[in-house]
Amino acid sequence: MVDTLILGLNGYEVRPGHRLTVQPAAYVPATGEEIGNYRLWNGQDGRLAYYNAPNWHLDVKPVGGQVRGMVHLSLPGYGAPNNLNPVTREKAVDILRDVRKGLDEIGIDCCLEDARVSRLDAFANVQTSEAFDVYTPILSLLDGRRMREKAMPGVTSFRWGSTHAQINCYDKLAEMQSHKLDVSAFYGTNILRFEHRSLDWNKVHTLYGISTVGDFLKEYDSIPGVYRSVMQRDLFRYDGNDIELLSERQLTDEMQLFKAECGRRWMQAYWEAAGLRYTLQRASPETVARVIEQVSGDRNKAWRNRQKMHTALVRQKMLTKSESAGKTYRVLYNELRSGVLKAA
């Protein structure tokens, strides 16, 4: 459930005889001026210092205007051939105890339980019936709430991100192969990974109520529930089961719904919805929103209508069928949605 952790050490000391590598600051030979030189700890200046252990990494460098010691690790990848499967709380305790022992061995005195959790990646693996590219039309329509889609190289990844958080979806086996890992045991299997990344301490604290490693271990078993709620709110907020196919019978049901909800003006409301569908066949919600803002001079009105158009566009796509899979995109969307929410 939890993959990457970044831990900010509090009140740590570097003992004489430590095993860190120190990178000196750059300098201008003509003047001797140093560039990027910092006091890393008492008696030691430099650009940064680091230590690479087999299963974790420590760096000491300026972060946010202050020199900090940061420990990076992957819980499922710790001492394992890959980071595919989540670990239990008991295993997480053992891993962090081993990290603390390793820090002591290289000359770092600290209380790891008091370290701040500065990044936390939660994830779910979904074993799908189809290959990744079958789902890309649906993934390309999903709109991370308060996030923007960010391009990633290749056709096997999607990312929605803001300054403080990211949601990543990618073909896990393709990612493992790119790192030269053996995936022969998974032949014929399709696994999509959905990650939610909290990228700073404030986001981790706000989302999970976690400040320190001690808090992290206390709240470990509550993380899946928070992940499930966030993914449902921010990515899988459409309920594909409510989207009907436009057959004659379903068209009748749709009109009856408009009549029941809109009263005497139900036909006008229905044709407004039909006009919206037509407009979205000609231009994207973003283009229409820009035109609305230009014509009305009201940015808020443009944003509200963009949200409405995006929902309509997703619903329209759900009604079509994937040629490669022979299934409607509604079925494929529901498979992903239920897989992520059940796996958490």
The arithmetic mean of pLDDT across residues 29-54, rounded, is 95
Q: Contact, 98 vs 105, CB < 8 A?
A: no
The C-alpha torsion from 162 through 165 and 171 to 173, rounded to 10°, is 140
Same domain, yes or no, for 229 and 253?
A: no
pLDDT band at residue 282 under the 50/70/90 scheme: low
Q: Kind of pairing, strands 190-198 and 165-171? A: antiparallel
Q: Are 97 and 111 in contact (CB under 8 A)?
A: no
Structure tokens at 269: 């409301």
DSSP-derived secondary structure for 129-172? SS-HHHHHHHHTT---TT-EEE--SSSSEEEEE-SSEEEEEEEH
* Phi, psi of 23, rounded to the nearest 5 degrees: -100, 120
Quick one: pLDDT at residue 270?
A: 73
* 213 and 289 inside one domain: no
pLDDT, tens digit, for every residue of 7-24?
A: 999 999 999 999 999 999
Residue 181 and residue 249 in one domain:
no
Q: Answer whether residue 54 is part of any domain.
A: yes
3-state helix, strand, coil in the chain (%, to 5): 45, 25, 30
pLDDT at residue 328 in the model: 73
User: How many Å apart are CA 308 and CA 245, to the nearest integer?
Assistant: 20
One domain, residues 53 and 201: yes
Nearby residues of 8 by Cβ (< 8 Å), 6 or more positions away: 63, 68, 69, 70, 115, 116, 117, 118, 201
Q: Are residues 175 and 28 in the same domain?
A: yes
State residue 253's pLDDT score: 67
What is the structure's pLDDT at 232? 93
pLDDT band at 144 (very low <50, low <70, confident <90, very high): low
Inside any domain, residue 272: yes
In a domain, 270, yes or no: yes
Does residue 126 sit in the same domain as residue 105?
yes
User: DSSP 3-state assignment of 188?
Assistant: coil
Residue 342 in any domain: the answer is no
Read off the pLDDT band of 48 (50, 70, 90): very high
The token pair that represents 303 in the structure block: 């944003």
Out of 216, 234, 252, a domain closes at: 234
Residue 344 counted as domain residue: no
pLDDT at position 212 is 98
Res 272 pLDDT > 80? no
Do 93 and 199 share a structural domain?
Answer: yes
Would you say residue 181 has pLDDT above 60? Answer: yes
Has residue 166 got a pLDDT over 50?
yes
Rounded CA-CA distance 137/318 in Å is 10
What pLDDT score does 244 carry?
A: 41
Predicted local confidence at residue 269, as pLDDT: 74
- Among candidate residues 68, 69, 72, the one with its CA nearest the CA of residue 53: 72
> Which range of residues forms the domain containing residue 317?
243-324
Query: Of 213, 234, 255, which residue sits at a domain end?
Result: 234
Domain boundary among 234, 251, 267: 234
| Number of domains the chain contains | 2
Give the pLDDT confidence score for residue 40 in this predicted structure.
97
User: What pLDDT band is residue 323 in, cutting at 50, 70 and 90?
Assistant: low
Whether residues 184 and 287 fall in one domain = no
What pLDDT was estimated at residue 260?
Answer: 82
Whether the predicted pLDDT of 319 surpasses 90? no
Same domain, 69 and 151: yes
The per-residue pLDDT for 249 is 54
Classify residue 266: in a domain, yes or no.
yes
Query: 333 lies in a domain?
Result: no
Encode pLDDT of 241-270 as tens digits: 554 433 455 567 667 877 887 788 888 877
For position 155, what pLDDT does the model report? 44
Residues 126 and 273 in one domain: no
Rounded to whole angstroms, the Cα distance separating 42 from 124 reads 43
Asked whether the beta carbons of 131 and 22 are under 8 A apart, the reply is: no
Q: Does residue 341 sit within a domain?
A: no
Q: Are residues 81 and 103 in the same domain?
A: yes
Residues 115 and 258 in one domain: no
pTM value is: 0.78
